[in-house]
Amino acid sequence: MKAIGKQVYIRQLTQEDVSDTYVSWMNDPEVTQYLESKWQIHTHRSCAEYIETLSKDKNNYLFGVFLITDSTHIGNIKIGNIHPVHRYCDIGMAIGKKDNWTKGVGSEVLMLIEKIAFEELNLNKIWGGIYANNIGSFRMTQKCGWREVGRFEKHVFYKGEYVDVIIVEKLIGRK
């Protein structure tokens, strides 16, 4: 599976995509501050094993985000926990290459993953949870037509305090 946008394309990751740069993002506290992967130390081996595990699981897909200009790997997005009957999934995304932040890349990646989820995987809904203090990600989902459907109060521990998690969703056909 692959989807192509204006700035980036996404395709399923392979073990060959694990590089020093990729591993360094996964260990960068600024990149992972809103991800549950921040609680682990990542190595080439752990990243490669994660990719291998997901590649064998028909309910989870891990995609790399690559620049169209030179195919540089700049981030990842995961479609996870696909429910085959109800046809929904959750997503998680990280743009690891920080010089691509605030340039519309995240919005483009979100639209590309929607295309795969709705058109190729025939899903009905995508949902995700966003730390309430992650204003940029929340605004990005709104820009892409997602809506807030609830909150888990004081759900995650972030820098010494508990913060809410905003639950957002996008249904097939919603603009």
CATH number at residue 11: 3.40.630.30
Please check whether residue 63 lies inside any domain of the structure. Answer: yes
Amino acid, single-letter form, for residue 47: C
Among 95, 52, 47, smallest CA distance to 74 is for 95
Residue 101: pLDDT over 90: no
Query: Which pLDDT value is given to residue 98?
Result: 86
pTM for the whole thing?
A: 0.91
Please check whether residue 109 lies inside any domain of the structure. Answer: yes
What is the phi/psi pair of residue 115, to 5°? -60, -45
Please check whether residue 155 lies inside any domain of the structure. Answer: no
Structural domain span for residue 38: 2-124
Which positions ≥6 away from 98 have C-beta within 8 Å? Answer: 30, 31
- CA-based R_g, the chain, Å: 15
Mean pLDDT across 4-12: 96
Are residues 66 and 9 in contact, defined by beta-carbon separation less than 8 angstroms? yes
Query: Which pLDDT value is given to residue 36?
Result: 79
